[in-house]
Structure 1
Amino acid sequence: MQLRKLIPALVPALALALVAPQATAAETEYRRGPAPTNSSIEASRGPFSTSETSVSSLAVTGFGGGTIYYPTSTSEGTYGAVAISPGFTGTQSSIGWLGPRLASQGFVVFTIDTNTTLDQPDSRASQLLAALDYLTERSSVRSRIDTSRLGVMGHSMGGGGTLRAAEQRPALQAAIPLTGWHTDKSWSGVRTPTLVIGAENDSVAPVSSHSEPFYSSLPSTLDKAYLELNGASHFAPNTSNTTIAKYSIAWLKRFIDNDTRYEQFLCPAPGRSTQIEEYRDTCPHST
């Protein structure tokens, strides 16, 4: 008798449970750290304490060694990882500020040296991928990394290398070329969500012949964005830059971690400001 009385009450609840939207793994599984705010992603350091380890060029093959920055805590599980290449004539020190800044937001970050400072973009692409392979297969922090959540970044020729690496390894989850340089202007083969960052006053890789055509050539169906830094030069990525950091963090969180809490910083698109000359995107992003 009691069962008969319970059934009518259970049926509506069961029906609601079947149709109610559930949080997907993509939305929740890889969330690391507290809910973000504008000030938290603009801060010079995020919520994670970090450590670092040097990697000698003698201990690796395919690239020139570098420095790995990583969150010290393992309480939230594994992290996504990013390899970052310097530009022409540059060493890892030229992009070194990004290491602890990104790592403190919940990523393993590898700022690399290239085989020579004169390596061209396609060589830097191969070196970025070799660095990711080392990071996930041989490095001392490999157990902290989720090998399915990887990305690449790079400055200048390293930015061109970033695009090529994404083209060559479509399983990458995010790519961010920083004032990128490449003789190839067509990137229709890229399948990795890509944030192109250019600089308004770049005389080395002018946006009109580099970052803008790079962005335009990416597939229209791709999650992509173009951020042009207001009044900045080609070398803006070589020193601490809050705008670069803020939108790079949001992009990496959104596409490497699938963390939709960061969508608010990307869609709707940020407007023109003293820091941003122009921003284009393909919002809303796919999930």
Structure 2
Amino acid sequence: MQSRSITPGEAPSLRPGSYAHRRRRGGRIAAKAVLALALAGGTLAAVPATAQAAPAAPAVRAANPYERGPAPTEASIEAARGPFATAQTSVSSLSVTGFGGGTIYYPTSTSEGTFGAVAVAPGFTADQSSMAWYGPRLASQGFVIFTIDTNSRYDQPASRGDQLAAALDYLTQRSSVRSRIDATRLGVMGHSMGGGGSLEVSNDRPNLQASIPLTPWNLTKSWSRIQVPTMIIGAQNDSVASVTSHSEPFYNSIPASAEKAYLELAGASHFAPNTSNTTIAKYSISWLKRFIDNDTRYEQFICPPPTGEREISEYRNTCPSS
């Protein structure tokens, strides 16, 4: 797992020899000396104010500077909206290069800091409207979400992967919300050929933090070079990209060192990701939080594997180590 450094502005540690350490230690020594003298004289009434112990050190922020929002619960990750108020802005295809524009959904406040960002691609013949429900739902959990249109509705997975990469570059370098984004914490999602595209860009950009292919389709079956933490969501009754010839081989080919999971939606079709789905949202949020935000509070929802959920016909993963 990648380690995270403490960001500027966090409370300093009281390391031996530091000014803060000497001041705190000096205060304690002075207080002990006065107490001993007072006990020898039989009174504590004359302890001067300057001899009082130094005030306690300020509370140190959470060890993970990327945590956003309150501690999660089952109810909070299943909710239609998370704790962050959101807004959205449209991006015209005429103002970008490399992809077809889209819609950015983002938290309205940055009081807790900047956010990780995720680009989301639609499937073959579809446009961003088929993925629109992910925007406000994931953004309200503390992410910047960019649902994109592709250059052509018929673009193949490799092209969709390139377009996801271009969308992330636009988000972090030119978009109106770039100051809200931590460009080191990025991820991708996609449906069908868009899911195949998310595998393509994960293969090309190993510095991504998370990838979630949704009922993915791709003629390439082996992804042994991927090192991006990847959750593949397949559908048990998928007749377009059957799990036996797409999702499962994809999952099996990704090395365990990348961190990976395979979730199969019970009784679902290829198009399950196109409408609001609590199971997809719940585990997508948990995966993105765990790997983009390095937030181990969400690990409880993905490891150990969930059991007894009728919406899930199969679940496998590598169980990340905290």
Q: TM-score, with normalisation over the residues of structure 1?
A: 0.91
Choose 147-156 or 268-277, whichever is displaced more: 268-277
Match of 2:102 in 1: 66
Asked if structure 2 preserves the Cα contact closer than 8 Å seen for 1:128 and 1:165, the reply is yes
Matches within 5 A, 1:191-270: 191-270=227-306
Give the alignment partner of residue 39 of structure 1, picking from 75, 79, 82. 75
The percent of aligned pairs where both chains have the same amino acid is: 72
Task: State whether structure 2 residue 231 is matched by structure 1 residue 180.
Answer: no
The amino acid of 1:196's aligned partner reads: I
Residue 273 of structure 1 deviates from its aligned partner by 2.6
Q: Does 1:140 align with 2:172?
A: no
Which deviations, in whole Å up to 9, do the C-alpha atoms of 1:195-246 show, x marking residues without a partner?
0000000000000000000000000222100000000000000000000000
Counterpart code for 2:68: R
CA drift of 1:23 comes to 9.2
Q: Alpha carbon RMSD of aligned pairs, Å? A: 1.7
Question: Pairwise mapping of residues 46-195 of structure 1 onto structure 2 (< 5 A)?
Answer: 46-195=82-231
Q: Following the alignment from structure 1 to structure 2, what is the Cα–Cα distance between the partners of residues 105 and 224?
A: 22
Per the alignment, residue 17 of structure 1 pairs with none
Query: Does 214-223 or 90-99 show the bigger shift?
Result: 214-223
Deviation sequence 1:224-271 (CA, Å, 0-9, x none): 000000000000000000000000000000000000000010111102
* Contact 2:230-2:260 at 8 Å conserved across structures: yes
**Further displaced range: 241-250 or 217-226:** 217-226
Moved over 6 A (4+): none
Secondary structure at 2:89 match in 1: strand
**Bigger-Rg structure (1/2):** 2
Aligned to 1:30: 66
Paired residues, what number?
Answer: 269
Alpha-carbon distance in structure 1 between the residues aligned to 2:149 and 2:182: 23
Gaps of 5+ in 2: 1-27, 33-59
Equivalent residues of 1:223, 1:286 under 8 A apart = no
- Secondary structure of 1:74's aligned partner: coil
Counterpart of 1:221 in 2: which secondary structure?
A: helix
Q: Which amino acid aligns with 2:143?
A: F
Q: Give me the whole-angstrom Cα distance separating, in 2, the residues matched to 1:38 and 1:50.
A: 21
Q: How does 1:263-282 map to 2 (within 5 A)?
A: 263-282=299-318
Structure 2 Cα separation of the partners of residues 229 and 176 of structure 1: 14
Partner Cα separation in structure 1 for residue 280 and residue 267 of structure 2: 14
Are the structure 2 counterparts of residues 74 and 24 from structure 1 closer, same or farther at C-alpha, using a change threshold of 3 Å? closer
Cα gap change, 1:127/1:183 in structure 2, threshold over 3 Å: closer, same or farther?
A: same
8 Å Cα contact 2:114-2:182 kept in structure 1? yes
Separation (CA, whole Å) in 1 of partners of 2:232 and 2:192: 11
Q: In structure 1, what is the Cα distance between the partners aligned to 2:137 and 2:61?
A: 29
Q: Deviations over 1:59-114 (max 9, x none)?
A: 00000000000000110010000000000000000010000000000000000000
State the 1:286 CA deviation: 3.6
Partner of 1:16: none
